[in-house]
């Protein structure tokens, strides 16, 4: 005759002490308590399902007291009687909860923020801030909370149309491209089934971008007058010298403003700009001509003992002049010399690019050399991966031609 199991009591469970090995206290009906050597106590239920012995955990004591453990035992035994395996039922419920969590985490905003975080180390602060701003200002409010696979083309187009209504066509194109990048990232990491943004043809669905070229001057007589006007500029020496250097080096204004003495090797006639200062995050070499060096060394008596070549008069050597200061200086020169039109500090690059291409037969260097000097990224990524050449010799030829061209205009007879 089988021995009858006596039900457990709360006092018996509470007083159960840990031993060297785990042991069990049985309550009956397949319910028992496992006491571990570390003192923890867990409820288990032993049951038969289709003739096979199974076990399932139903919580820990005292979080699940004796009375509640007995209630769970009866609930689980009812499932067994109805032909349901409690272990399988629990696994199914756990998987459903997991899918709900995945779906909740698979919102466009969650994937976009993940993508943005991956991009952070690759982008400059301003570029990162612009991308983040587009997400917050235009995108998240419309599709951010939606599961990325539930988003429709019309959802995306509604974002674009609002931007276009403001006349910001370029922003509309950039925003669509940004959404597309999030989908590409989602596909790459297995979070997206289909890139719906790629189904939108911007040439057909979006308003065209009206290209506005950087204001510049390319007429030789006007350039001559502009260069002479810079020499007659009566503002600070730092601004005047930066303005004098700007047309010759064809760099972005930030590179000129943040130029440091330790970046220059005057013997090798080379300016090495660190990668962190460049838009494309690649070290950039600028061949220097005698004229460029002459202009730069003008500042040495004033700032040679400091960090920046072109620093402010008010804040001191640790603070470079601002871009607005350069632009203001340019406009003063234009006004003083009665030069019609406008030109911003970026315009010197446009001047160089336009005239370098127009005078190809004079300097004889290939377009890739001009683009490399402008520090433009190679659009063919495969080609760029193998094209490590800096074209340094060819760029020396190009920059010497450009330097001679500007000097020739300046010294030409009126």
pLDDT tens readout for residues 204-263: 888 886 544 445 678 888 889 999 999 999 989 999 999 999 999 988 888 999 999 999
% of the chain with per-residue pLDDT over 70: 89
User: Could you give all domains of the chain from N- to C-terminal order, each with its CATH number?
Assistant: 10-85 (3.30.160.390), 108-205 (1.10.150.130), 220-411 (1.10.443.10)
What average pLDDT does range 328-335 have in this prediction? 88
CA 414 – CA 221 distance, rounded (Å): 9
In degrees and rounded to multiples of 5, residue 373 shows phi and psi of -65, -30
- pLDDT confidence of 102, banded at 50, 70, 90? low
In the predicted structure, residue 385 carries a pLDDT above the cut 80: no
pLDDT digits (tens, 9 = 90+) for 351-365: 888 888 888 778 888
Tell me the pLDDT band of 344, cut-offs 50, 70 and 90: low
Tokens 């990491």 — which residue?
189
Active site residue 44: no
Residue in 279, 281, 328, 331 annotated catalytic: 279
> Of 349, 363, 372, 395, which is the active-site residue?
349
357 counts as catalytic: no
Going through 269-386 in order, the beta strands assigned E by DSSP cover 270-273, 284-287, 311-312, 316-320
Neighbour-count burial for 155-171, b at 16+ CB within 10 Å, e otherwise: ebeebbeebbeeebbeb
Element (H, E) at 55: strand 52-61
Distinct helix (H) and strand (E) counts, the chain? 19, 9
Alpha carbon distance 151, 141 (integer Å): 13
Determine the 3-state secondary structure of 314 from DSSP. Answer: coil
Catalytic residue (one of 166, 386, 388, 414): 386
Neighbours of 225 (CB within 10 A): 19
Q: Which residue in the list 277, 376, 396, 410 is annotated as catalytic?
A: 376
- Tell me the whole-structure pTM to 2 decimals: 0.50
- The token pair at 50 is 């289709």
Residue 349 among the catalytic residues: yes
Task: Point out the catalytic residue in the list 173, 346, 372, 395.
Answer: 346
- Pick the catalytic residue from 41, 73, 138, 252: 252
Tell me how far CA of residue 151 lies from CA of 158, 176, 399, in angstroms.
Answer: 12, 14, 51
Cα–Cα distance, 80 to 176 (Å, whole number): 54
* Distant-in-sequence, close-in-space partners of 156: CB < 8 Å, separation ≥ 6: 143, 176, 179, 196, 197, 200
Q: Tokens standing for 147?
A: 């599961």
- Told to judge if 346 belongs to the known catalytic residues of this protein, a careful annotator would answer yes
């Amino acid at each position: 005759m089988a021995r009858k199991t006596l039900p457990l009591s709360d006092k018996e469970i509470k007083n159960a002490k840990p031993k060297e090995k785990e042991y069990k206290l049985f309550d009956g009906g397949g319910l028992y308590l496992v006491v571990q050597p570390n003192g923890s106590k867990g409820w288990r239920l032993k049951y038969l399902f289709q003739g096979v012995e199974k076990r399932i955990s139903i919580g820990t004591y005292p979080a699940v007291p004796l009375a509640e453990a007995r209630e769970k035992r009866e609930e689980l035994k009812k499932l067994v009687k109805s032909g349901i395996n409690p272990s399988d039922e629990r696994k199914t419920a756990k998987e459903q909860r997991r899918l709900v969590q995945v779906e909740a985490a698979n919102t466009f905003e969650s994937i976009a923020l993940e993508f943005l975080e991956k991009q952070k180390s690759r982008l400059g602060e301003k570029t990162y801030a612009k991308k983040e701003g587009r997400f917050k200002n235009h995108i998240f409010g419309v599709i951010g909370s939606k599961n990325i696979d539930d988003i429709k083309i019309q959802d995306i187009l509604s974002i674009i149309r609002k931007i276009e209504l403001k006349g910001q066509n370029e922003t509309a194109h950039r925003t669509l491209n940004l959404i597309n990048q999030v989908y590409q990232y989602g596909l790459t990491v297995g979070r997206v089934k289909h890139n719906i943004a790629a189904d939108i043809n911007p040439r057909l669905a979006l308003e065209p971008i009206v290209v506005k070229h950087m204001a510049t001057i390319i007429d030789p007589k006007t350039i001559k007058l502009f260069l002479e006007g810079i020499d007659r500029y009566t503002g600070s020496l730092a601004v005047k010298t930066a303005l004098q250097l700007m047309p010759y080096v064809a760099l972005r204004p930030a590179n000129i403003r943040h130029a440091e003495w330790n970046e220059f090797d005057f013997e090798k006639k080379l300016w090495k700009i660190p990668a962190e200062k460049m838009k494309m995050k690649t070290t950039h070499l600028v061949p220097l001509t005698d004229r460029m060096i002459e202009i730069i060394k003008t500042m040495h008596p004033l700032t040679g003992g400091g960090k920046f070549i072109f620093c402010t008069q008010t804040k001191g050597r640790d603070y470079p002049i601002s871009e607005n200061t350069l632009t203001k200086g340019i406009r003063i020169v234009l006004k003083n010399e009665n030069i019609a039109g406008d030109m911003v500090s970026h315009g010197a690059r446009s001047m160089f690019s336009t005239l370098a291409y127009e005078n190809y037969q004079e300097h004889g260097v290939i377009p890739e050399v001009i683009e490399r000097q402008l520090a433009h990224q190679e659009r063919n990524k495969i080609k760029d991966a193998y094209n490590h050449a800096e074209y340094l010799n060819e760029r020396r030829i190009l920059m010497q031609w450009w330097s001679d061209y500007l000097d020739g205009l300046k010294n030409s007879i009126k």
